[in-house]
Amino acid sequence: MNDVVKFLSENPVQYLATVGRDGKAKCRPFMFSGEKDGNLWFCTNNTKDVYQDMQANPHIEVSVSSPTYAWIRLSGKAVFEDNRAVKEMCMHNPIVKGQYQTADNPIFEVFYLADAHAVIADFSGNPPKEYSL
Q: Find all residues with CB under 8 Å of 4, minimum gap 6, and list them.
A: 40, 72, 74, 118, 120, 131, 133
Among 132, 117, 118, 44, CA closest to 81:
44
**Cα–Cα nearest to 87, from 75, 76, 99, 77:** 99
Average pLDDT over residues 1-27: 96
Asked if pLDDT for residue 1 goes beyond 90, the answer is no
Mean pLDDT, rounded, for 121-125: 95
Question: For the segment 29-66, what is each residue's pLDDT rounded down to a tens digit?
Answer: 999 999 999 999 999 999 999 999 999 999 999 999 99
The count of residues in the chain is 133
pLDDT at site 129: 97
Q: What is the pTM of this model?
A: 0.95
Q: What is the pLDDT of residues 91-100, one digit of tens each?
A: 999 999 999 9
- Which residues lie below 8 Å from residue 92, measured CB to CB, with a gap of 6+? none
